[in-house]
A = this chain, B = another copy of it.
Amino acid sequence: MNPISSPLLADLYQFTMLQSYLEQGMHDTAVFELFMRKLPPERNFMVAAGLEQVADFLEQMRFTAEELAWLAERFPTPVIDYLEHFSFSGDVHAMPEGTLFFQNEPILRVTAPLPQAQLVESRIINLLHFQSLIASKAARSVLAAPGKLLVDFGMRRAHGAEAALLAARASYLAGFSGSATVLAGALYDVPLYGTMAHSFIQAHADEATAFEHFARSHPDNAILLIDTYDTEAAASKVVRLAHKLATEPIHIKGVRLDSGDLAMHAFEVRQILDRGGLQQAQIFASGNLDEYRLSDMLASGAPIDGFGIGTALDISIDVPAFDCVYKLQEYAGVPRRKRSEGKATWPGRKQVYRRFDEHGGMLADIVALEENDPQPGQPLLQPVMRQGVRIQASPDLQAMRQQTLQNYTVLPAGLRGLKKSAAYPVTISNALQALASELDTRIV
């Protein structure tokens, strides 16, 4: 059973409900929408990501003989007969990856026969929640450190392999320069960056020899890690090594700092390198970094050219989850509404319209009914799949990254900062509010 594409990537209740739907003949069209109930207090906006993996999952969703045999021990024959011939035949509308979104705005809509639309719930949330979470976190570093090299270093503390891979993809989409995770380079063409570990230094009898060995292996692009024993002493060794190698075609690209007061070390090391004639050598910093530390270091004028960001990025450490749900909004042509305390939803199939000022800046969004509720502005949900098949090939990741960077430039200025800004206006159309009120009096 494939651990990332198996249709058993679902909660058990999706199968118990499926059984009831089949027994009751409930095959009418259901409309589910995925949205965020509340913007996390630590975020001014979110970045939609993960649609590509959702479309892959839905297009390829089939039950293998092994999976059917396992299910057959737990569910009656009609359920197995249905799943044997299962393929997803619904429509999907979504915001393109990289779109900035806010609370109450559907970022994806599934329109499919009820048993199908219900069965795909958990994996769709799982994929869109995580990548949107990481892209939204990454965007903050991108905006805090304009023009700097930003690399995802988070594989080791990411929550499993898929998290590491998708974090590399989502952070690149959001504007990072690349990742250290090799498989993300191979699978998604994310640019790869890497230096050396402390163990490389420690495995050598002395640090200077370790530097020389590494530089000889990587004559064009060696980044030497200089904090294993004494950072400034190591910087001086780098200068001596550069002079020793000056007659060979070997150029030391830069150094990496990974501990202590990184800004202070950067100032010291920059002086040592400059005095030694290594003005071109770059300084790269890592070690428990996040967008706040980047912002502080750059504000202090620290001469750092690039940053490796690991744990804080790959688990979105200040907001490791957000309130992202997938809710039934319409069944058999009738709008539906959940009214649970504190968890009520806006019913019906919806569209989000974004209005811009005359300079292209974002003004306000309105969430409206898709039909008979026209609004000014750009509709953000676009058709992605029709009858289970992608309508067109997805844009490549580089192109989506460029669009995402463009999207930041039209955000209201306050929302681009790290501090909590006045909320971006998202309103609910009059027709949608009227529908919700009407349903509240109708459903019992």
Closest to A336 in B: B202
State whether A342 touches B159 (Cβ < 8 A): no
- B contact residues around A327 at 8 Å (CB): 198-199
A93 contacts partner chain B, Cβ-Cβ < 8 Å = no
State whether A321 touches B328 (Cβ < 8 A): no
Which of A10, A157, A160, A327 lies at the interface centre, i.e. has the most chain B CB atoms within 10 A of its CB? A160
Closest to A316 in B: B320
Distance between Cα atoms of A328 and B21 in the complex (Å): 57
State whether B259 touches A158 (Cβ < 8 A): no
Closest to A114 in B: B203
State whether B186 touches A70 (Cβ < 8 A): yes
State whether A200 touches B163 (Cβ < 8 A): no
Closest to A259 in B: B340
**Interface 1/0s, chain A 21-46, versus B by CB < 8 A?**
10110100010100000000000000
Stretch in contact with the other chain, from A11-19, A294-302, A380-388, A417-425: A11-19
State whether A4 touches B331 (Cβ < 8 A): no
A145 contacts partner chain B, Cβ-Cβ < 8 Å = no
State whether A13 touches B196 (Cβ < 8 A): yes
- B contact residues around A3 at 8 Å (CB): 3-4, 161-162, 165, 183, 187
A269 contacts partner chain B, Cβ-Cβ < 8 Å = no
A431 contacts partner chain B, Cβ-Cβ < 8 Å = no
For chain A, residues 62 to 121, give those with C-beta under 8 angstroms from any C-beta of chain B. 67, 70, 114, 118, 121
For chain A, residues 192 to 249, give those with C-beta under 8 angstroms from any C-beta of chain B. 192-200, 202-203, 206-207, 213-214, 216-218, 227-229
**Interface 1/0s, chain A 145-176, versus B by CB < 8 A?**
00000000101111111111111000000000
A182 contacts partner chain B, Cβ-Cβ < 8 Å = yes
A406 contacts partner chain B, Cβ-Cβ < 8 Å = no
Distance between Cα atoms of A153 and B125 in the complex (Å): 13
State whether B162 touches A443 (Cβ < 8 A): no
A311 contacts partner chain B, Cβ-Cβ < 8 Å = yes
A337 contacts partner chain B, Cβ-Cβ < 8 Å = yes
A415 contacts partner chain B, Cβ-Cβ < 8 Å = no
A399 contacts partner chain B, Cβ-Cβ < 8 Å = no
Closest to A187 in B: B1
- Distance (whole angstroms) from the CB of A125 to the closest CB of chain B: 4
Instruction: Count residues of A near B (Cβ-Cβ below 8 Å).
Output: 100
A429 contacts partner chain B, Cβ-Cβ < 8 Å = no
Distance between Cα atoms of A218 and B160 in the complex (Å): 35
State whether B321 touches A317 (Cβ < 8 A): yes
Distance between Cα atoms of A260 and B344 in the complex (Å): 12
Which of A164, A195, A258 lies at the interface centre, i.e. has the most chain B CB atoms within 10 A of its CB? A164
- B contact residues around A4 at 8 Å (CB): 3-4, 160-162
Closest to A257 in B: B340
Task: Pick from B13, B182, B218: contact of A195, CB below 8 A.
Answer: B13
- B contact residues around A157 at 8 Å (CB): 125-126, 129, 321, 324
- B contact residues around A166 at 8 Å (CB): 160
- Distance (whole angstroms) from the CB of A329 to the closest CB of chain B: 9
A293 contacts partner chain B, Cβ-Cβ < 8 Å = no
Mind listing 6 A-B residue pairs with CB under 8 Å? Answer: A11-B181, A17-B214, A30-B203, A118-B199, A130-B160, A199-B336
Closest CB pairs A-B (n = 5): A12-B194, A160-B162, A159-B159, A199-B328, A13-B194
Q: A70-B186, A198-B338, A260-B340 are in contact. List 11 more A-B contacts (CB 8 A).
A: A3-B165, A4-B162, A11-B182, A13-B195, A17-B199, A20-B217, A23-B216, A160-B163, A198-B328, A259-B342, A317-B321
Q: Which positions in A face B, CB cutoff 8 Å?
A: 1, 3-4, 6, 8-17, 19-21, 23-24, 26, 30, 32, 67, 70, 114, 118, 121-123, 125-127, 129-130, 133, 153, 155-167, 180-183, 185-187, 192-200, 202-203, 206-207, 213-214, 216-218, 227-229, 258-260, 311, 315, 317, 320-321, 324, 326-328, 331, 336-343, 443-444
